[in-house]
Amino acid sequence: MDTGTLYRLLKARGQQPDDRAVFVWQNHAPPRVQMFMWLLTQRKIQCRTNLLRRHVLLDATCEVCNEADETPEHIIGGCTIARQFWEKIGLDSMKTASMEAIHNLSPPLGIPIQGFNSQLSSRLPAGSSGKQGMQQSFKMSSWGSTK
């Protein structure tokens, strides 16, 4: 039995879908971006703190900024490069984002979702609009910022 089968069984029993699962899997993002976001929301991404915990590394310090341990939150919003990226696209709130609440992403105050989407999603498939389009833009941006 795989996780997909378990998920379908839970859904068949009337269980509500997990908001994080909907955020990650129900969109047009490429599978590698969806997988990245799933690992990120589960805090299982191969960051230095997770590798240190598994005794793969001796030090968890971020090699990009050398300012803090490399956690999922640090990769997405704490590292100098990540902070500059989010400031540039107007999502300052991402600098303090929690992986547990990342699926509740919303645009900066005073900017309508559609306007923000058009700013971020010039490379997304047609039909990506509203909150789902904004979340997809975020996913692609997050994934791209780690490359």
pLDDT digits (tens, 9 = 90+) for 87-127: 887 777 777 777 777 766 666 666 666 655 555 544 344 44
CB-based contacts of 6: which residues, under 8 Å, 6+ apart? Answer: none
**Per-residue confidence (pLDDT) for residue 61, from 0 to 100:** 96
Give Dmax over CA atoms of the chain in angstroms. Answer: 48
CB atoms within 10 A of CB 53: 11
What is the C-alpha separation between 60 and 51, in angstroms, rounded?
8
**Per-residue confidence (pLDDT) for residue 115, from 0 to 100:** 57
- Residue 37 has phi, psi (to 5 degrees) of -65, -35
| 69 phi-psi bin (left φ>0, alpha ψ -120 to 50, beta other) | beta
Residue 114 identity: Q
**Per-residue confidence (pLDDT) for residue 56, from 0 to 100:** 95
CA distance to 30, 99, 139, per residue, from 80 (Å): 27, 18, 19
Going by pLDDT thresholds of 50, 70 and 90, the confidence category of residue 59 is: very high
**Per-residue confidence (pLDDT) for residue 55, from 0 to 100:** 95
- Asked whether the whole model's pTM tops 0.75, one would answer no
For the chain, domain boundaries: 19-142
Beta bridge partners of 61: 69
CB-based contacts of 87: which residues, under 8 Å, 6+ apart? Answer: 95
Residue with tokens 């968890």: 60
pLDDT digits (tens, 9 = 90+) for 3-50: 677 667 766 666 677 777 877 887 778 888 888 888 888 888 899 999
